[in-house]
Amino acid sequence: MNKLEIINIPLKNREYDIYIGDNLLEQSANIIKQKFANRKFAIITDENVAKYQLARLQNALQREAIKAETIIVKAGEGSKDFATLQKVIDKILALHLERQDMIIAFGGGVIGDLAGFAAAITRRGMDFIQIPTSLLAQIDSSVGGKTGINTKYGKNLVGAFHQPKLVLCDLQSLKTLPPRQFRAGYAEMVKYGLIDDEEFFFWLEENYQHIFAGNNEQRAKAIAHCCRAKSRFVIADEREANIRALLNLGHTFGHALEAVTGYSDRLIHGEAVAIGIVLAHKFSAKLGLIPSQDAIRVQKHLQLAGLPTTLEEIKGTKPTIKELLTAILQDKKIMGGNLTFILTKAIGKSFIATNIDIKNVETFLKEII
């Protein structure tokens, strides 16, 4: 598949394009050179991406005589911390990159969040490019300008809204993605159908096997669909004051699970989201908002995709109710001390539920733990 798809994000004064295509890394330098002439670059990536993908990007940039230094960090959610952020910023400054120069975030969601945040605060704001190499990053985290790091109090609690100048999604990059990481990204793909697009969820039920089997046509179609879906929310509510919060379906429970498992390999982000999506639907059923069959249907599809859907599937000691409630109370959507959850009235009909009683959450957790 050689078709190139371009999706425009028309934010006022911050407009940018998302490119989706096969072997896009080989074309990346030409695109970058046309859009951003006479700039220096720093590529921020992790050890895994550097091993399998970095040479492709470096060779492309060298062919166009584009100067780019590389900063490599450890792979994994643990790199989204203050210590790694400090190291990255120090290296950017040591390279004498100026404000008009650019950062290239080359990796999955962790790298996109970390590099984007470094760009947002270094020299009071540098431009950056997202080149996402994971499914999760291509369909979700690379689009919309959310950047940040984790703290001991919770996930993404320190960060900034900082839109990229360009997003390049190379389907070929997914070929070296470990199966576990690909499945994790698929959880976010399913999310888009469950928010407000039941037809897309039904399409995924019919076509998920083709996506997992490496069908580039189906992969490109699904990735483009998700990018368009996210762009609608970003355009309508860039800084998540209201409707963009729907993109957090499954994330209140999911982020809490990540926190209590120490942002470790025990549970990676997409797996936490998968469990969180199931819990959000089961909690909706508990509150009488949906029939239990809807929650079962969602859980079954995620199971067929090879994703965990229960707390029992988390490696190591099972989280306690107290741990989960403590983490949930640090959720970014809390307003005036009141809990906000993304719940649902049917498949593809999610909504923002405010003023959720913590006692109802506790009762629900007691039933499933």
Of all residues in the chain, what percent carry a pLDDT higher than 70? 99
Secondary structure E strands in 171-298: none
Residues 212 and 266 grouped into a single domain: yes
Residues 165 and 187 grouped into a single domain: no
User: Which one of 148, 176, 204 terminates a domain?
Assistant: 176
Buried b (16+ CB within 10 A) or exposed e, 139-176: bbbbbbbbbbbbeeebbbbbbebbbbbbbbbbbbbbee
More confident residue, 331 or 81: 81
User: Which one of 176, 202, 235 terminates a domain?
Assistant: 176
Domain count, the chain: 2
At 187, list the tokens: 């959880």
Residues 340 and 364 grouped into a single domain: yes
Q: Assess whether pLDDT exceeds 50 at residue 1.
A: no
Buried b (16+ CB within 10 A) or exposed e, 103-132: bbbbbbbbbbbbbbbbbbebeeebbbbbbb
User: What pLDDT shows up at residue 3?
Assistant: 83
User: What pLDDT shows up at residue 11?
Assistant: 95
Q: Specify the DSSP element, H or E, that contains 131.
A: strand 127-132
User: What pLDDT shows up at residue 274?
Assistant: 98
Here the CATH number for the domain that contains residue 341 is 1.20.1090.10
Here the CATH number for the domain that contains residue 115 is 3.40.50.1970
Query: Distance of alpha carbon 367 from its chain centroid, rounded?
Result: 30
Q: Phi and psi of 75, rounded to 5°?
A: -75, 150
Domain range for residue 354? 179-368
Give dist(CA 149, CA 37) in Å, integer: 30
For residue 12, the one-letter residue type is K
Measured CA to CA in angstroms, residue 157 lies from 113, 192, 295 at distances of: 12, 23, 29
Q: What is the pTM of this model?
A: 0.95
For residue 159, the one-letter residue type is G
In degrees, rounded to 5, the angle at the alpha carbon of residue 317 between the alpha carbons of residues 314 and 319 is 75
Residues 163 and 102 grouped into a single domain: yes
Q: Which residues contact 65 (CB under 8 A, 6 or more apart)?
A: none
pLDDT band for 269, please (50, 70, 90 cuts). Answer: very high
User: Which one of 176, 206, 224 terminates a domain?
Assistant: 176
Residues 165 and 223 grouped into a single domain: no
At 353, list the tokens: 């539920």
Residues 300 and 317 grouped into a single domain: yes
User: What pLDDT shows up at residue 334?
Assistant: 86
| Per-residue pLDDT tens digits for 54-106 | 999 999 999 999 999 999 999 999 999 999 999 999 999 999 999 999 999 99
| Per-residue pLDDT tens digits for 4-59 | 999 999 999 999 999 999 999 999 999 999 999 999 999 999 999 999 999 999 99
Residues 205 and 163 grouped into a single domain: no
Residues 187 and 318 grouped into a single domain: yes
User: What are the residue numbers of the active site?
Assistant: 124, 146, 188, 230, 240, 244, 248, 251, 255, 269
Measured CA to CA in angstroms, residue 1 lies from 69, 110, 168 at distances of: 31, 28, 16
Residue of 103, 173, 101 whose CA lies nearest to 137: 173
Per the CB < 8 A criterion, the answer to whether 28 and 56 are in contact is no
User: What pLDDT shows up at residue 14?
Assistant: 95
User: What pLDDT shows up at residue 336?
Assistant: 78
User: What pLDDT shows up at residue 87?
Assistant: 98
pLDDT band for 335, please (50, 70, 90 cuts). Answer: confident
| Per-residue pLDDT tens digits for 131-140 | 999 999 999 9
Residues 137 and 188 grouped into a single domain: no
Q: What is the mean pLDDT of residues 278-284?
A: 98
Residues 140 and 186 grouped into a single domain: no
pLDDT band for 2, please (50, 70, 90 cuts). Answer: low
| Per-residue pLDDT tens digits for 223-266 | 999 999 999 999 999 999 999 999 999 999 999 999 999 999 99
Q: What is the mean pLDDT of residues 117-131?
A: 98
User: What pLDDT shows up at residue 337?
Assistant: 76
Q: What is the mean pLDDT of residues 186-196?
A: 98
User: What pLDDT shows up at residue 338?
Assistant: 82
State the SS3 of 42-71: EEEEEHHHHHHCHHHHHHHHHHCCCCEEEE
For residue 313, the one-letter residue type is E
Residues 72 and 188 grouped into a single domain: no
Residues 122 and 190 grouped into a single domain: no
Q: Across all residues in the chain, what is the average pLDDT?
A: 96
Residue of 264, 249, 316, 224 whose CA lies nearest to 77: 264
- Tokens 């698929």 belong to 186
